Amino acid sequence: MKRWLSVWGFFIAFGLFLAFDLWKNYSPNASEFFTKWVKPVFDTWRLPVVVYLFLTIGLIQFFRDRIGKLENESNEELSLYIKANRHYSNFRRLELLQSVIRKFVEHQESVDAVQMYKYEIKKRINEIIVKVKHVDGFVYEGVELNALGQIYFHVERDLYRDFMNAKAYLERHNDASKLISFVRTHRLRINGVNPEDVGEKEATDFAILQLAVDLIEEWFQEVFNTTESLNLFNLSQEMFIKLNEVKRTGILRAVLLKNDYYRFSHYGSGEKQGRLYIGRHILLGGINHCFLITLGHGIFDEENALELLAEVQNEFIDEVQSNFGMMYNNNTDNREGDRHEEAQ
């Protein structure tokens, strides 16, 4: 850019000198002005050619610097405009998301709340870190619900890798044998622990193992048409409740499942006891998110409970798609589905 400015500056200076010479030679007024005022000065005080050259270069440099300054000011203004527009777009996106969630909760009789989270998966030397952060949500008036603000899950790398490989094998071959081997190999992490020793690590390990068992049971139901629960753990009721209470891991299972809905219940006491949650991955603006839909206690009292659940799930996705025009991951083989694999 500066090179072109120098070239143009030269041509402008040359044009000015040429125009002045033509004006002097062919205009009577110019001839009189030059003879009376200019010629006597230069006849008595002659400037070297090099002075004219330096004056020309100085003029070119002045105008080039001036143009460069104007360009910088223009670029700064453009940058500020782009940043302001980006902030405004983010604000509008968040405002629209709030509106979509609020309207959905208010119009669905069985839905008590919807929460939206974004998440990141990072690999470290010996562990995988899953960071989940609350983005927005809406809770219907009178409903008691404590949304997660921000939570971290630390998963041992071999446990994460083995689960993701076994899950991928099930999806590719419709064969749960790898998941069954995974549970048999890693269930010792839980079976040998006393209830009083249960901490966040055990709760996180159990969440992944329980997700594997859920997938195995679904596969058995699909292939053998049986709804029996598989007893792959040797756990007391006290231990089972403790593993589910120590840390809120339902959203972790929804994140890891990724390509399908994950349903789980609250095992505590009080108003939240028996409350049903539905979670699933969704891609918003190229960023991994996970939404949680909270359903009322009486939903399973309905004769068509499963159909009602499917309807609620699909209607929420339709609302997001129609309002945002965002891509929803319905394909296990696209690049978004591979992001978890990269963390191994």
Identify the sign of the CA torsion 59, 63, 64, 65.
Answer: positive
Q: Are 26 and 154 part of one and the same domain?
A: no
User: Rounded CA gap, 245 and 23, in Å?
Assistant: 94
Q: Are 24 and 158 part of one and the same domain?
A: no
Confidence band of 331 (pLDDT split at 50, 70, 90): very low
Quickly list H helices, 200-304: 200-224, 237-245, 250-257
Residue 11: phi and psi, rounded to 5, are -65, -35
Q: Which residue has the higher pLDDT, 196 or 337?
A: 196
Quote the number of domains for the chain.
2
Residue 91 within any structural domain of the chain:
no
User: Rounded CA gap, 290 and 328, in Å?
Assistant: 11
Q: Are 29 and 122 part of one and the same domain?
A: no
% of the chain residues with pLDDT over 70: 64
Q: Are 221 and 126 part of one and the same domain?
A: yes
Q: Which pLDDT does position 151 carry in this prediction?
A: 93
Q: Are 220 and 332 part of one and the same domain?
A: yes
**By residue range, what is the domain housing residue 180?**
100-342
State mean pLDDT over 241-267.
85
The residue whose two tokens read 């990724």 is 258
Asked which of 70-74, 87-91, 190-194 is least confident by mean pLDDT, the reply is 87-91
Q: Which residue has the higher pLDDT, 49 or 190?
A: 190
Residue 89 within any structural domain of the chain:
no
Residue 92 within any structural domain of the chain:
no
Segment of 65-79, 161-175, 269-283, 314-328 carrying the highest mean pLDDT: 161-175
Confidence band of 221 (pLDDT split at 50, 70, 90): confident
Q: Are 6 and 150 part of one and the same domain?
A: no
Residue 338 within any structural domain of the chain:
yes
Q: Are 226 and 333 part of one and the same domain?
A: yes
pLDDT > 60? residue 307 = yes
Q: Which pLDDT does position 31 carry in this prediction?
A: 61
Residue 141 within any structural domain of the chain:
yes
